[in-house]
Amino acid sequence: MNLPLPSSSPCSSSSSSSSSSFPLTSTFPLTLRCPSPPLSTNSKLTGQFRLQTATNHINPTTKGLSLATSIPASTTSTKNDQTLLSLLRQRKTEEAWILYTQIPHLPPPTCLSRLVSQLSYQNTPLSLRRAQAILTRLRHERQLHRLDANSLGLLAVSATKSGQLSYAFSLINSMLRSGYLPHVKAWSAVLSRLASAPDGGPTLALKLFDTITRRVRRFSDVTMVADSRPDTAAFNNVLNACANLGDGKMFLKLFEEMPEFGLEPDILTYNIMIKLCARCNRKDLLVFVLERVIEKGIPLCMTTLHSLVAAYVGFGDLETVERMVQAMRDGRRDLCKILREANLEDFNEDEENEILNSNQIGVKCV
């Protein structure tokens, strides 16, 4: 007789809850393909169940001795696991860690995920080392599946804040390879640091953003991946990577993808756009960025004004900088007019240079 398979399957994973900067109650261990196991696999599992059943009925005396011997160890393990879970629920992380180090066996997935989450959330060098030690142990014992997506995501955020960007980036990639989609606050935190990191950091940021958004798009039901979908902050981070690379084409492509996710650019988005114009030597576009912000009714911030000033300083147009600063001191609201006049002056100057150059060429020809 074929016995039913257990309720857990290769497509399920444990979940735990822990207080953090983002919800820990819902995880998304996402596997893109989850075919039913072949008949041969079912037969193999059924055979194992039969073997266990047959062994339990071989000899009543042996059975009693086996139970008498195993009860104390089993009871002790269960009691330790319950105590560990109780400590974690009470947020007694230090006591929970001490008990974890004294337990010879691996605690249940819920305990491990909660412990890693709480250690990561403490965000101290010691707690980070402890969380990483748990991860290392599970990796060596091939038990990484015991941790849920939220605990791994929190560990990535903690590593990012501690300056261990390579570790955090590798952890996010490991999650993706394992079929997990990390929370947007987790992968966006790594993305933010990569966007400004040296040694190809912005390029890695673009690849990470592309990998995650491609996987998110595969789900027609957006509620299944609601916590992993990019938000405005995530887009700003990847747009900042484009600005640092001076890649205007990619910037425009990603900027136009924001409505696909139901997002609108904010003032930080346009600040980054000003930065891109400066990097790409497009002084003529700055006034259009400012006019777009005003047209959208987005309140200006001091960073926007500072970005404009810094851009014109970079262009060497100190005269326009003086006009802008004086206008801000006077409380004037005609910055767009000042920038348009600067563009007109640049146009006239370029036109004069072209005329002079053509006259010089004519003289040389004569």
How far is Cα 13 from Cα 110, in angstroms, rounded to an integer? 10
Average pLDDT, the chain: 80
- Which residue, chain included where needed, has tokens 């969380």? 131
Q: Mean pLDDT throughout 197-225?
A: 94
Q: Mean pLDDT throughout 181-186?
A: 95
Q: Which pLDDT value is given to residue 334?
A: 83
Q: Going by C-beta distance under 8 Å and a sequence separation of 6 or more, which residues neighbour residue 318? A: 312
Q: Which pLDDT value is given to residue 349?
A: 57
- Which residue, chain included where needed, has tokens 């079929």? 179
Beta bridge partners of 29: 180
Could you give the 3-state DSSP secondary structure of residue 273?
Answer: helix
Which pLDDT tens digit goes with each residue over 228-264? 999 999 999 999 999 999 999 999 999 999 999 999 9
- Going by pLDDT thresholds of 50, 70 and 90, the confidence category of residue 73 is low
> At residue 286, does pLDDT exceed 90?
yes
Q: Going by C-beta distance under 8 Å and a sequence separation of 6 or more, which residues neighbour residue 222? A: 229
Compute φ and ψ for 9, nearest 5 degrees. Answer: -135, 170
Would you give the end-to-end CA distance of the chain in angstroms? Answer: 106
Residue 225 · residue 193 · CB < 8 Å = no
CA 85, chain centre distance (Å) = 28
Q: What angle do CA 206, 212, 217 make, to 5 degrees?
A: 120
Q: Mean pLDDT throughout 73-90?
A: 90
Q: Select the more confidently predicted residue: 10 or 335.
A: 335
Q: Is 105 exposed, middle or buried (0-12, 13-18, 19+ CB in 10 A)?
A: exposed
- Which residue, chain included where needed, has tokens 């003529």? 284
Half-sphere exposure of 248 (CA within 13 A, CB side): 10
Lowest mean pLDDT, pick from 10-19, 143-152, 268-277, 346-355? 10-19
Which pLDDT tens digit goes with each residue over 287-307? 999 999 999 999 988 899 899
Q: What is the percent of the chain with per-residue pLDDT over 90, rounded to a whole number? A: 64
Q: Which pLDDT value is given to residue 300?
A: 86
> At residue 352, does pLDDT exceed 60?
no
Single out the residue of 255, 175, 181, 186 nearest to residue 216, CA to CA: 181
How far is Cα 96 from Cα 82, in angstroms, rounded to an integer? 11
Q: What is the percent of the chain with per-residue pLDDT over 70, rounded to a whole number? A: 74
- Going by pLDDT thresholds of 50, 70 and 90, the confidence category of residue 347 is low
CA distances from 35 to 4, 176, 284, 335, 361 (A): 17, 19, 56, 61, 75
Q: Which residues of 283-305 are buried (b: 16+ CB within 10 A; e: fewer)?
A: bebbbbbbeebeeeebebeeebb
Lowest mean pLDDT, pick from 45-54, 194-203, 350-359? 45-54
How far is Cα 285 from Cα 273, in angstroms, rounded to an integer? 10
Q: Mean pLDDT throughout 57-77?
A: 47
Domain ranges within the chain, ordered by starting residue: 14-24+82-168, 181-264, 282-366
Compute φ and ψ for 44, nearest 5 degrees. Answer: -65, -45
Single out the residue of 238, 222, 262, 183 nearest to residue 21, CA to CA: 183
How far is Cα 6 from Cα 46, in angstroms, rounded to an integer? 11
Q: Which pLDDT value is given to residue 341?
A: 87
Q: Which pLDDT value is given to residue 23?
A: 43
Which pLDDT tens digit goes with each residue over 126-152? 999 999 999 999 999 999 999 999 999
Q: Going by C-beta distance under 8 Å and a sequence separation of 6 or more, which residues neighbour residue 220? A: none
